[in-house]
Amino acid sequence: MSDFHAIYTACWIVACVIATCLAFRHRGALELCHRAYWQHISQAWKLLTFLVSASALIVMAPYTGDPTWDYFDAAFRSVFTYTSAPWAVGTLYLALRGQRTITFAFIAVCV
């Protein structure tokens, strides 16, 4: 691992730890932590489209030529993206409009 990669990884770990602490501190105000958010993304048609796209990504994962990309990575990233992206994109949009604080924008970027 090069020095750049080591520094990048260390900074990313620190940022994620800070974001986790902030998210825990503000969990009452984070839509990601509310039942309504999970009900919203659990609608049947949304789950169906997720399953179709995740299946395609998982099936083609070993054929990408990336030795670090396998079935497990594809499945994990698909689930994590499906569960967090709507909140993260919405939060960043609201932050750009001044309706969410920089704290929430930081958490969204790390998520």
Residue-number span of the structural domain to which 16 is assigned: 3-110
Give how many domains the chain has, as a whole number: 1
Q: Say if residue 1's pLDDT is above 80.
A: no
pLDDT tens, position by position, 28-68? 999 999 999 999 999 999 999 999 999 999 999 988 888 88
Question: CB 65: neighbour CB atoms within 10 A?
Answer: 6
**In 3D, which of 49, 11, 26, 5 has the Cα closest to residue 104?**
26
Q: What are phi and psi of 104, to 5 degrees?
A: -70, -35
